[in-house]
Each structure stands twice: as structure tokens, then as C-alpha cells.
A and B are shown apart, each in its own frame.
Chain A
Amino acid sequence: MSINSLDNPYDSESKLSHGSGCGCSSCSPSRADADIPQTQEEIIDRAVENAVVRSVFPNDMERRQFIKVVGKSTFMAALAAIFPMDALKAAVKESNGKLEKKNLKVGFVPITCATPIIMAHPMGFYSKYGLNVDVIKTAGWAVARDKSLNNEYDACHMLTPMPLAITMGAGSVKAPFLMPAVENINGQAITLHVKHKDKRSPKQWKGFKFAVPFEYSMHNFLLRYLVAESGLDPDKDIQIRVVPPPEMVANLRAGNVDGYLAPDPFNQRAVFENVGFIHMLTKEIWDGHPCCAFACSQEFATSMPNTYGAIFKAIVDATHYSAKHENRKSIAEAISTTNYLNQPQTVVEQVLTGRYADGLGNVKNDPDRIGFDPFPWNSMGVWILTQMKRWGYINGHVDYKKISEQVYLTTECAKYMKELGYTPPSSNYKTHYIMGKKFDPHKPEAYVDSFAIKKKVSLTNAE
């Protein structure tokens, strides 16, 4: 389901807005016959077409009806009359002038979420775009944040809430950051200590100590969401600690925490070491949730546009390559070595292929355990901001859409469209369903207010 953002926009059968439980052909697991672009050129073409069509038809139903009425070829011709589609595609592909800087440093935290950033190195995606990239292993998220702010890294693997938080100056120095691409969707899990095999309901977790990798993480927000949905207050009834991912298995073994909502391979590693079991995958909370991101400072993007363009394309290319299930085994082999993830290959392979042991005696088969889809939906950014507001990480008035649109660049295409004098697509929002509850990105404040359990902000604190 990871190539949703690349559906054929000219087809009246395809849906450009994929909700949970979407029944379209591209959302069903077997999409061998689906019309998906294969080569890198085709992918860029399709992304451009998609963005243009989206901007013309913010409402997907209208687009489909329109195509049904006038026919596909008329639609394409009509669109081509208004937009110089070919010129636009060419501009996106060839506007790369001379690279301002070839030797780049890209930071990553050794988890499977970073797969595209890492595998782009051994599998040659950076060099394909003329870049000489050093991917540098980083000890934790605070260090990744600081090294990015210090310009030690040109770009960095981050958690999707981080560029938002950094841009707003929440838990960080205030600096405008950009997130041109989401790295992975799904791919996390809740792991509990083996002694808790009988405590499978969050209601039984009162007093538990949980670890998450960072405060500004989907892990923290999803765990809080899940616990609150079952009636516990995550700030009072459980303890949530920040533990860097590589230290989680050791902490779980030592009984220092009862469980964690963490990135892989550390869920699978806990199973492999007979220390924990996989209680649930986070896709069961929100199927298709964003997790990690590819981010860089606005300064890097504006001062070195060609280099930025090249690395952006390399990442999108690598992400689409990672999305294909048939490539997953070879990727696991390439990235489990000492200089990248430094993990047993069996463990990494189970995460990426989705055929895994759950630690309870079952072999599960879930190809969508982790997905790779670079499209940074603005609605996802808004959801993250609502949760930051809900749990008191930000106070006062929040301009959800403005911040989300400033940080989550819907596509590189938007930039090139502006250069050519066109208005980039403004509608990159969709409705999400999280544990069955509807999230309308156009009514964020009402969504925050709809939760019974949330941080009580005293009136004096609120601006």
C-alpha cells in the first residue's frame, strides 16, 4: 500500500484519497496488475501528474465523475491545454544544475525505519544522482537533532514530529526545518516482557513502565493514544520513559521497563533474545501512520537547491525501491552489517518481510508490517500537532495547517511549480481513522477537544 501517492490520476477507477479500509485496487494486497510506475523517470512523471490533478480537483469524487463524463483522453487533453505538463515534467527531471556540494553527511539512528536512507548507500542510490554521501550512525534522537542544528549533518533521519517541533522551537532551538519525505509508514510495535503474557489488555497496564525513543515521536503519541482509549491516563497511570532504541532490549531484560513502543529491529530483537513478545503492531492502532522522516534545514534546501534536489530524488527513489516486497530480502542483507544496523540478519529480515515470530509461539505473516511511502500528507502533520497540543507539548493557539504546510513539503514538485509560475496543490489532506475514530484534518481544534483524557492546561498557562 506504499505507493498510494502514485496512482494514475487520469483513471476514473483510481482513488487518490485512500482512507482506512479503502477498497480500491491499489489498496488491496495483490496489486500486480495495478498501474504503477516502475522506473525512476516514470515515478517522477506520475508524481507531477498527481500533484497537478490534485490541485485542479481537490475533491476526488468530482475528479472521478468528471473523467467518467468526459472520458479519459479528453480529460488528459483538457488538462494539457491548461498546464504545460511535459514542460513541467522535464523541469522537474532536468532542472538539476551543477551540484553545489557533492560530499554530504547524512545522519541515521540504527533502526529499520531508516532503511531507505541506509540502503541508498550500499545499493548505490546516492551515487546514481552524483552524490558522495557518508551515512553516519547516531546514538540517539537528541544528538541527531543537535547535529542537524549544528550543520554537522546536511540532512538527517528524524522522527516525523521532530521537524515540526524544531520549527516551532518545542524542546529545541527554534529553526525552520523541512520534511520533504516521509521515510516509512507503520513499522513499530509494542513489545512486552515475557512475564506479562497474560496482560494483553491495556486496562491491565496500570503502573507499567514503558519506554519510547523520544518525546517528540509517533511512538510516544501512539502509546498515549492507545492507553488513553482504554481509559488510563498516560501521565498518571503509567510511566513513560525516554530510552534510546538500542538500549531498549537491555532495559527490558533487566526488568527496568515492562515494555516499549519502539522502532524495529528492537521489537523483533527482544523476541529473538526470548526477553519479550510482540503484543501488537502499531498498524493495528493506525494503519498507514507515518513514523520516521527524511529532514533537513530550510537553510540547506535554499542555499544548495541542486544538491537538495539530487538527494531528495535519491531518497524518493530508494524509498520506492524499498517499498517493493521482492527487494526486501536483499535490503535486509545489505543493511544488517556492522557499519549499518549491526543486527542479526534473521531479525532484520523478519521485520522487512513481515513474516515473523511473535514470541508467543506463532509465525505471523503481515507483509505490511512496515511500508515505505514518501508522500508527506499535511493531514498527518496536523494530527501530530493535535497530539502535541493534547499532551501539553505545545500550548495556546496553534495554526495547525500553516505549520504542517511549512514543514511537510507535499512534493518537490510544489517548488518547481512555483518557479514556473503555477500555484502548487493546496489540498494534501485526507481523513484518517485511528482506532476507528475519525480524524478530520480541517477541524483540528474540535478533534483535540473531543478527547476525555488529555493534559489539563491551567487557564493561566494558556495564552
Chain B
Amino acid sequence: MKRETINAAIISLTLFAFAFILGEVFTSKGKKETKELTEYEILMGASEEKASLPGPIAVFSRAWQELSNPFYDAGPNDKGIGVQIFYSLGRVLLGYFLAIIIAVPAGFLIGMSPIMYKALDPFIQLLKPISPLAWMPLALFIIKDSAMSAIFVIFICSVWPILMNTAFGVASVKKDWLNVGRTLEMNAFQKAFQIILPAAAPTIFTGLRISIGISWLVIVAAEMLVGGTGIGYYVWNEWNNLDLASVIFSVLMIGVVGMLLDFLINRAGKLFVYTE
């Protein structure tokens, strides 16, 4: 077991080093002219760096620069990467918790009643595949507030996986356990909280994990569309200036934060789930 971990780490590191070197070799560097320049050359920016695909070193040095001062705030259009991520996280978590508050009880009820399950299934199946961003114009129009619209979009895309998984988990609780509850003369609440919820917990957490992943995917796109604040706006603003080192850096940051979110939900799931 131990040996396997070490080997895996060695392979990971080798792959990383390989990608790093390959990246350095095959990316162009913005060339700077040093000889005497004509006015045309100066206006064409011969003395300045052009937009080019940066190598890993350039990206890491940009990362160092950004991460050494992540919380600066220079007005509404220029904030540090940390501030931007907190804005995005705030939106994601708000929409996500709203979705949990609605979807878990709703999923519970649907799962308990086979008739409701069948009756609502067509609607859920219809609404589930709609791209969250397709809701954006509608949300902007109806809610009339861009920040709330972004939160609504997170909500609407989080709700379905949680709802479906909760309903599925609740519906597939073993009949034997419910019968045990009946013999112990449990009331409906006791049955829900002591038998069904623990039994359905693993599937519910699967739904939660899927949703947080989707939410994080969506917020970046939504912020690129609406602008203002957030990591999506940060990417858009750097794209605006064709600053690819910053774009790659923020893409990596999006990955890191997404990974952390998934890890946290997974951890939380393990705390609640009991083994048979």
C-alpha cells in the first residue's frame, strides 16, 4: 500500500516536470526589440510585450505576484484574486444552501410518495437538462438584479441533482427497516429522522457533491456574462487585455477552489454517514 502511494507520487511529479519543461520549450516569449526603433515600430509596440502564450515560469511568477497580495481593493473594477474568489464563493454558497433548503425536503416528500414521484418526474426531467446560463436572461428580466440573478442561476442548477438524489435515496430505503420502525411504534417524525434520513444520507450527499461541482462551473460563466465582481469577472477582465498569464493563473485557481469544495462536501458526507 505504502509503496504504491510513493510510486504514484513519483509518477505524478514526473508528469508535472515533463509538462513544465514541455510548456517552457513550446511557448513563445514576447520579444522585445533592443535596437533603434522607427516610430512605426514603437507604435506597433515593438518595445513592449505582445500577448503570447506564457510558459509555466511566467504563470507561476504571475501567481506569486497575485497571491502575495490577494486582498487588495482598488475600487469596484480592480480587486485582488482573494476578494474575487470570496465574492464568487459567497454567491455559490448562498444559491447552493437555498437549493438544499428547498430540494432536500421536496425530495423527501417525493421519495416517500410513489404517486408524487411519478407525477413530478416529467417536469423534473424537462427542467433538469436546461443549461443554467439559459436561465440568465430570464432571471435578469424578472428579478431585475444582477447579483440576485446569479444566485438564482446557482440555485436552479443545484436544485435538480439534490432533488433527484434525495428522492431516489428516500424511495430506496429498505422495507425491512421501515417495518422495524413500525413494530417500535415510531411516529412519522421519528421514522423520518431516525430511519429514512440516515439510510438515504449517502445518496443525498452524492447529490450535494454533484451540485456543488455544477454550481462552481456555472458561477464562472455567469460572472463572465454579467461582470462586476467574482473570479469570472477577473478572467473576463484579463481576457479583455489578452493577458494570458493571468487567464491561466485564474483558470488554475478555479480548479483549486472547485477541488476544495468537492473535498469539503465529501468530508462532511463521511461525518454523517454511518455504516451498517
Contact surface of A with B, Cβ cutoff 8 Å? 110, 134-140, 143, 146-147, 149-152, 173, 246-247, 249-250, 269, 271-274, 337-340, 342-344, 346-347, 350, 355-357, 359, 361-363
Asked if A338 and B237 make an inter-chain contact with CB atoms under 8 angstroms apart, the answer reads yes
Q: Within the complex, which residue of B43, B146, B236 is in contact with A346, where a contact is CB–CB below 8 Å?
A: B43
| Beyond A250-B242, A356-B43, 6 extra complex contacts between A and B, CB < 8 Å | A150-B140, A271-B44, A273-B51, A273-B242, A344-B48, A363-B40
Given known A137-B77, A273-B50, A363-B43, contact A143–B145 (CB-CB < 8 A): no
Asked if B36 lies at the interface with its beta carbon under 8 angstroms from chain A, I say no
| CB nearest to B79 among chain A residues | A339
- In the assembled complex, 18 residue pairs joining A and B whose CB atoms fall closer than 8 Å, in A order, are A135-B76, A139-B224, A140-B225, A143-B225, A143-B227, A246-B236, A247-B239, A272-B44, A273-B51, A274-B44, A338-B74, A338-B77, A339-B78, A340-B77, A342-B238, A344-B45, A357-B43, A359-B44
Distance of A178 Cα from B21 Cα, bound (Å): 58
Q: Within the complex, which residue of B40, B51, B146, B225 is in contact with A362, where a contact is CB–CB below 8 Å?
A: B40
Asked if B237 and A137 make an inter-chain contact with CB atoms under 8 angstroms apart, the answer reads yes
What distance in Å separates the Cβ of A274 from its nearest Cβ neighbour in chain B?
7
| CB nearest to A118 among chain B residues | B77
Chain B residues whose CB sits within 8 angstroms of the CB of A246 once the complex forms: 236, 239-240
What distance in Å separates the Cβ of B151 from its nearest Cβ neighbour in chain A?
15
Chain A residues whose CB sits within 8 angstroms of the CB of B237 once the complex forms: 137, 338, 342
What distance in Å separates the Cβ of B243 from its nearest Cβ neighbour in chain A?
8
Asked if A272 and B45 make an inter-chain contact with CB atoms under 8 angstroms apart, the answer reads yes
Asked if B242 and A350 make an inter-chain contact with CB atoms under 8 angstroms apart, the answer reads no
| CB nearest to B232 among chain A residues | A139
Chain B residues whose CB sits within 8 angstroms of the CB of A139 once the complex forms: 224-227, 233, 236
Distance of A340 Cα from B144 Cα, bound (Å): 25
Given known A139-B227, A246-B240, contact A346–B48 (CB-CB < 8 A): yes
Chain B residues whose CB sits within 8 angstroms of the CB of A347 once the complex forms: 45
* Residue from B40, B42, B224 with most neighbouring chain A CB atoms (10 Å): B40
Asked if B4 lies at the interface with its beta carbon under 8 angstroms from chain A, I say no
* Residue from A110, A146, A149, A356 with most neighbouring chain B CB atoms (10 Å): A146
Q: Which of B34-71 contact A (CB under 8 A)?
A: 39-40, 42-45, 48, 50-51
| CB nearest to B238 among chain A residues | A342
| CB nearest to B77 among chain A residues | A339
Asked if A146 and B242 make an inter-chain contact with CB atoms under 8 angstroms apart, the answer reads no
Distance of A361 Cα from B40 Cα, bound (Å): 7
Chain A residues whose CB sits within 8 angstroms of the CB of B77 once the complex forms: 135-137, 338-340
| CB nearest to B45 among chain A residues | A272
What distance in Å separates the Cβ of A353 from its nearest Cβ neighbour in chain B?
10
Asked if B228 lies at the interface with its beta carbon under 8 angstroms from chain A, I say yes
Asked if B40 and A146 make an inter-chain contact with CB atoms under 8 angstroms apart, the answer reads no
What distance in Å separates the Cβ of B138 from its nearest Cβ neighbour in chain A?
11
Distance of A138 Cα from B228 Cα, bound (Å): 7
Chain B residues whose CB sits within 8 angstroms of the CB of A362 once the complex forms: 40
Chain A residues whose CB sits within 8 angstroms of the CB of B40 once the complex forms: 357, 361-363
Asked if B227 and A363 make an inter-chain contact with CB atoms under 8 angstroms apart, the answer reads no
What distance in Å separates the Cβ of B238 from its nearest Cβ neighbour in chain A?
8
Distance of A135 Cα from B51 Cα, bound (Å): 27
Asked if A143 and B48 make an inter-chain contact with CB atoms under 8 angstroms apart, the answer reads no
Distance of A246 Cα from B239 Cα, bound (Å): 7
Given known A150-B146, A339-B74, A346-B43, contact A274–B50 (CB-CB < 8 A): yes
What distance in Å separates the Cβ of B45 from its nearest Cβ neighbour in chain A?
5
| CB nearest to B223 among chain A residues | A139
What distance in Å separates the Cβ of A126 from its nearest Cβ neighbour in chain B?
13
Chain A residues whose CB sits within 8 angstroms of the CB of B233 once the complex forms: 139
Distance of A355 Cα from B233 Cα, bound (Å): 32
| CB nearest to A350 among chain B residues | B43
Asked if B76 and A136 make an inter-chain contact with CB atoms under 8 angstroms apart, the answer reads yes
Asked if B75 lies at the interface with its beta carbon under 8 angstroms from chain A, I say yes
What distance in Å separates the Cβ of B117 from its nearest Cβ neighbour in chain A?
38
| CB nearest to A137 among chain B residues | B77
Q: Within the complex, which residue of A134, A135, A272, A337 is in contact with B50, where a contact is CB–CB below 8 Å?
A: A272
Asked if A147 and B146 make an inter-chain contact with CB atoms under 8 angstroms apart, the answer reads yes
Chain A residues whose CB sits within 8 angstroms of the CB of B238 once the complex forms: 342
What distance in Å separates the Cβ of A226 from its nearest Cβ neighbour in chain B?
26
Given known A246-B236, A273-B50, A338-B237, contact A146–B76 (CB-CB < 8 A): no
Asked if B241 and A343 make an inter-chain contact with CB atoms under 8 angstroms apart, the answer reads yes
Q: Within the complex, which residue of B39, B76, B240 is in contact with A342, where a contact is CB–CB below 8 Å?
A: B240
What distance in Å separates the Cβ of A224 from its nearest Cβ neighbour in chain B?
25
Distance of A343 Cα from B74 Cα, bound (Å): 17
Chain B residues whose CB sits within 8 angstroms of the CB of A339 once the complex forms: 74-78
Distance of A150 Cα from B42 Cα, bound (Å): 44
Q: Which of B117-145 contact A (CB under 8 A)?
A: 140-141, 144-145
Asked if B51 and A342 make an inter-chain contact with CB atoms under 8 angstroms apart, the answer reads no
* Residue from A140, A149, A339 with most neighbouring chain B CB atoms (10 Å): A339
Distance of A455 Cα from B263 Cα, bound (Å): 57
| CB nearest to A246 among chain B residues | B240
| CB nearest to B140 among chain A residues | A146
Chain A residues whose CB sits within 8 angstroms of the CB of B39 once the complex forms: 363
| CB nearest to A136 among chain B residues | B76
| CB nearest to A347 among chain B residues | B45
